[in-house]
Amino acid sequence: MTAVDVSTKAVGEPRAKVYMKAREAAEYLSLSQSYLAQLRMTGDGPPFRMFGRAVRYRREDIDAWTDERLRRSTQGGTVAGAR
């Protein structure tokens, strides 16, 4: 059995985008950019990475962050999967 090099791609095949800019992440979450920035400053937002001064998000991190906030009720912060 041989290892497969996943870093190669077929000619002309688009490469999957790994990181989203803050604007793209805000759009993906249907949030304003300023609210996402506020969440980032308070540590309440999705995990992000800094490349110099550039803030970048991974879709997998955003999806995991939203999954953590799944609720059945607005009272008491009950998690949907908890019993």
For 2-39, write each residue's pLDDT tens digit: 444 444 555 666 666 899 999 999 999 999 999 999 99
In this prediction, residue 6 carries a pLDDT of: 46
pLDDT at 65 over 70: yes
Full DSSP string of 15-67? PPP-EEEHHHHHHHHT--HHHHHHHHHHT-S---EEETTEEEEEHHHHHHHHH
In this prediction, residue 10 carries a pLDDT of: 59
Go through the domains of the chain in sequence order and give each one's CATH number: 19-68 (3.90.105)
Give this prediction's pTM.
0.71
Mean pLDDT of the chain: 84
